[in-house]
């Protein structure tokens, strides 16, 4: 803790703090779930985006990973990872980079259109593993699970290609992020698996043999205990968690492993508002709506003996501009805070916060960087 005190004494601008012990516990818990269900654990690295943090996963037996871009795949390939899935529909304009990457790693790609599949059929220079992206209800990307003819046509094109290996079907049930209860999240997971299995059965009846099932959202992976109906899970946010996951009951506040240390720059007693140096360019403009109808752009804590403490009740980030954050609070908390102090903001969406701040400080004073 002495190192953290020394570090925070020098903080002059918004700084991301990481509780490594919490992150390791989060990794261990999810790895154990996958192991107990006998499924492949392919964590999504878009949350932490760090080669250093990636090494922590190896201690829990992780050998395959998910990323969100070809650029991120290149970064982790250059840091020793050899089994990488790009969980984003193929961008055919990156075919040169895809071919270079496929020469050195086992590369997994997502397709959801005949146009993309035909392009890859003509331009892939090395074998790649192909997954068909399925829309099971999120309605962002993917082929709707009911579209048997389109799915059959796409699978046929993949199977008839020299450099495409048909691995299976994949989905991201992002609509769990709109669920209002643990039961609803589990219901969405059950529905998702049921729909994937229907697609799997349809394709098997059409003559396709090896069809694996891959799912990946953190809310479901945090709430569900048995994944034996699928072949792999790809959660990402669980490594750090955040206020959004807390609001979904996907985690407790003790599992949130990152917070942004922000200097207090002003106080306005007539409004019980504290102004911090920490705005949208640090925290993002993601928000949740609390039970009173307030927009929350982050929750507030203070540094304690072992990191940050409990969430301060009646206190939240109520608004953000580019560099400013406005904290609404109680009389008692307001009176106890001085200009120049450091408050720790638990972010609504840790993935975006990490992407904005680009590096973090561990509680023992170590520095961790992310991909440039």
Inside any domain, residue 245? no
pLDDT, average across residues 353-357: 97
For the stretch 136-139, contacts whose Cβ atoms lie closer than 8 Å and that sit 24 or more positions apart, written own/partner, are 136/171, 136/173, 136/191, 136/192, 136/195, 136/196, 137/173, 137/175, 137/188, 137/191, 137/192, 137/195, 138/171, 138/172, 138/173, 138/174, 138/175, 139/175
Task: Return the pLDDT at 340.
Answer: 96
Task: Return the pLDDT at 1.
Answer: 54
Inside any domain, residue 173? yes
- Rounded to the nearest 10 degrees, how much is the dihedral formed by the CA atoms of 188, 208, 159, 114? -40
The tens digit of pLDDT for each residue in 58-101 reads 999 999 999 999 999 999 999 999 999 999 999 999 999 999 99
The dihedrals phi and psi of 348, each to the nearest 5 degrees, come to -70, -40
Mean of pLDDT over the chain: 96
Inside any domain, residue 250? no
261 and 202 co-located in one domain: no
The tens digit of pLDDT for each residue in 150-179 reads 999 999 999 999 999 999 999 999 999 999
| Whole-number Å distance between alpha carbons of 7 and 4 | 5
50 and 124 co-located in one domain: yes
DSSP 59-106: TTT---EEESSHHHHHHHHTTT--EEEEEEE--GGGHHHHHHHHTTSE
pLDDT-derived band at 134, boundaries 50, 70, 90: very high
Task: Return the pLDDT at 305.
Answer: 78
* Sequence-ordered list of residues with C-beta below 8 angstroms from that of 230, at least 6 positions apart, any chain: 39, 193, 196, 213, 214, 215
> What six digits make up the tokens of 125?
């220079």
Length of the chain: 372
| Whole-number Å distance between alpha carbons of 248 and 175 | 12
| Whole-number Å distance between alpha carbons of 318 and 128 | 47
10 and 25 co-located in one domain: no
9 and 42 co-located in one domain: no
Burial class (CB in 10 A: 0-12, 13-18, 19+), 222: buried
- From 177, 211, 239, give the residue that closes a domain: 239
CATH code of the domain containing 27? 3.20.20.10
Distance of CA 21 to the CA centre of its chain: 19
pLDDT, average across residues 19-30: 98
- Rounded to the nearest 10 degrees, how much is the dihedral formed by the CA atoms of 214, 217, 220, 224? 40
193 and 77 co-located in one domain: yes
Range of the domain at 10: 2-17+257-369
DSSP β-bridge partners for residue 108 = 85, 129
44 and 173 co-located in one domain: yes
Inside any domain, residue 87? yes
Task: Return the pLDDT at 366.
Answer: 92
Q: Do the beta carbons of residue 43 and residue 65 sit within 8 Å?
A: yes
Q: Do the beta carbons of residue 227 and residue 39 sit within 8 Å?
A: yes
299 and 200 co-located in one domain: no
Number of domains comprising the chain: 2
Question: Among 163, 92, 101, which residue's Cα sits nearest to residue 130?
Answer: 163
pLDDT-derived band at 180, boundaries 50, 70, 90: confident
């Amino acid at each position: 803790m002495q190192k953290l005190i020394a570090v925070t004494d020098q903080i002059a601008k918004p700084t991301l703090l990481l509780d490594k012990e919490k992150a390791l516990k989060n990794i261990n818990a999810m790895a154990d779930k996958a192991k107990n269900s006998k499924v492949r654990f392919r964590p999504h690295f878009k949350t932490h985006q760090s080669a250093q943090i990636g090494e922590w996963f190896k201690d829990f037996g992780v050998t395959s990973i998910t990323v969100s871009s070809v650029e991120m795949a290149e970064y982790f390939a250059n840091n020793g990872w050899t089994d990488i899935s790009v969980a984003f529909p193929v961008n055919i304009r990156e075919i040169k980079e895809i071919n270079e990457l496929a020469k050195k790693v086992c590369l997994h790609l997502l397709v959801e259109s005949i146009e993309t599949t035909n392009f890859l059929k003509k331009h892939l220079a090395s074998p790649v593993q192909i997954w068909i992206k399925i829309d099971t209800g999120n309605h962002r990307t993917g082929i709707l699970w009911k579209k048997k003819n389109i799915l059959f046509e796409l699978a046929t094109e993949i199977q008839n290609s020299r450099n495409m290996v048909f691995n299976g079907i994949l989905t991201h049930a992002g609509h769990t992020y709109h669920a209002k209860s643990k039961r609803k999240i589990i219901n969405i997971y059950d529905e998702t698996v049921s729909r994937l299995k229907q697609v799997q059965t349809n394709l098997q009846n059409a003559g396709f043999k090896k069809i694996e099932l891959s799912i990946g959202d953190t809310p479901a992976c945090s709430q569900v205990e048995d994944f034996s109906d699928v072949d792999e899970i790809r959660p990402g946010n669980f490594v750090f968690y955040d206020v959004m996951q807390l609001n979904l009951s996907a985690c407790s506040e003790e599992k949130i492993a990152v917070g942004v240390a922000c200097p207090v720059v002003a106080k306005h007693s007539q409004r019980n508002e504290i102004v911090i140096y920490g705005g949208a360019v640090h925290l993002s403009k993601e928000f949740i709506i609390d039970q009173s109808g307030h927009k929350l752009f982050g929750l507030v804590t203070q540094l304690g003996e072992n990191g940050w403490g409990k969430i301060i009740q009646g206190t939240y980030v109520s608004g953000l501009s580019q560099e400013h954050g406005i904290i609404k609070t109680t009389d008692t908390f307001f009176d106890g805070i001085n200009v120049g102090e450091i408050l720790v903001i638990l972010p609504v969406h840790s993935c975006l916060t990490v992407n904005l701040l680009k590096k973090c400080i561990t509680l023992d004073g170590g520095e961790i960087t992310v991909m440039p």
